[in-house]
Amino acid sequence: MLLASADPMAFNWLPFVTTIVVFGIVFFVLAFSVWPKIDKGLDERSQKILHEIESAEAARVTAAAKQKEFEQKLAEGLEQSARMIREAKAEAVRLGDEIRARSEADLSERARRAAEEIDGARRLAVSELEAHAAALAVAIAGRILQRELKPADNQRIVEESLAGMSAKRG
C-alpha cells in the first residue's frame, strides 16, 4: 500500500496521476460547457458595446450636422428678420410720411372749404341783411312819402339799392 510520508517533498504517484486525470476532466468539462458560453457572452457584449459606440458616434455626427444646419438656418432667419424689420421700418416711415402729407393736404382742403363756406355764408348773410335793410328802408321811405308802393316798385327800388350797394362795395 502507498503510505504517506512525513517528508513534504516525498513524491507519491497516486496524487500525481490523480491530479492529471482530475485536471483533465475539469479542463474538458469547462472547455465544452463553460468557456464557450462565457466567450460567447463576452463577445456579444463587446459587439453590443462596439455597435452602441458606433451608433452613438453616427448619432453625434448627425447631430453635429443638424446643429450646423440649424445654426445656419438660425443665422439666415436672424438676417431675414433683421431685413424685414429694416424694411418694415422704412415702410412705416414712408407710410407715416404719406399719411402725414395726406392729412396735411386734407386739412388744407378742409380749411379751404371751411373758409369758402364761411365766406359764402357771410356773403349770403350780408346780402340778406342788405335786402332786409333795403326793404326796411323802402318801407320807411314809403311811410315817409305817405304813399303805398306797389310791389313791383318796391322790388325795383330794392334791387336798385342793392345794386348801388354792391357797386359801392365792389
Partner 1 sequence: MSVHMVTNLLASEGDPISHLVDKNMGDTPLMLSMATMVVSAGVICWLLARAAKAIATGPASIGNRRYLPATKFGAVVEVMILYLRDQMLVPVMGERLTKKYLGFLLSLFFFILILNIVGLVPFVEVQELVAYLRGQNYDLQEHQTAAIFGGAATASISVTAGLACVTFVVVQVQGFRELGIKGWLEHLCGGHELVHGSIFLWLVIPIIFAVEFLGLFIKPAALAIRLFANMVAGHTLLLTLTMFGTMAVKAGLGMFAVTSITLVSGVGAILITFLEVFVALLQAFIFMFLSSVFISLMAHEEDASEEHGEAAHAH
79-99 CB burial, b ≥16 within 10 A, e <16: eeeeeeeeeeeeeeeeeeeee
> What's the rounded Cα separation, in Å, for the pair 80 and 87?
10
Rg of the chain over CA atoms, in angstroms?
A: 62
* In the complex, minimum distance from the CB of residue 53 to partner 1, in angstroms, rounded to a whole number: 13
* In the complex, minimum distance from the CB of residue 56 to partner 1, in angstroms, rounded to a whole number: 14
Position 93 contacts partner 1 (CB under 8 A): no
Position 30 contacts partner 1 (CB under 8 A): yes
Position 152 contacts partner 1 (CB under 8 A): no
Position 12 contacts partner 1 (CB under 8 A): yes
149 within 8 A of 142, measured Cβ to Cβ:
yes
Position 10 contacts partner 1 (CB under 8 A): yes
Position 78 contacts partner 1 (CB under 8 A): no
138 within 8 A of 158, measured Cβ to Cβ:
yes
In the complex with partner 1, the residue whose CB is nearer, 16 or 70, is: 16
> What's the rounded Cα separation, in Å, for the pair 120 and 98?
32
In the complex with partner 1, the residue whose CB is nearer, 33 or 146, is: 33
Position 119 contacts partner 1 (CB under 8 A): no
> What's the rounded Cα separation, in Å, for the pair 154 and 136?
11
* In the complex, minimum distance from the CB of residue 92 to partner 1, in angstroms, rounded to a whole number: 59
* In the complex, minimum distance from the CB of residue 12 to partner 1, in angstroms, rounded to a whole number: 5
> What's the rounded Cα separation, in Å, for the pair 11 and 4?
9
In the complex with partner 1, the residue whose CB is nearer, 27 or 70, is: 27
**Judged by CB under 8 A, how many residues of this single chain contact partner 1?**
42
> What's the rounded Cα separation, in Å, for the pair 14 and 21?
11
- Site residues, partner 1 (CB under 8 A): 1-20, 22-27, 29-31, 33-35, 37-42, 44-45, 48-49
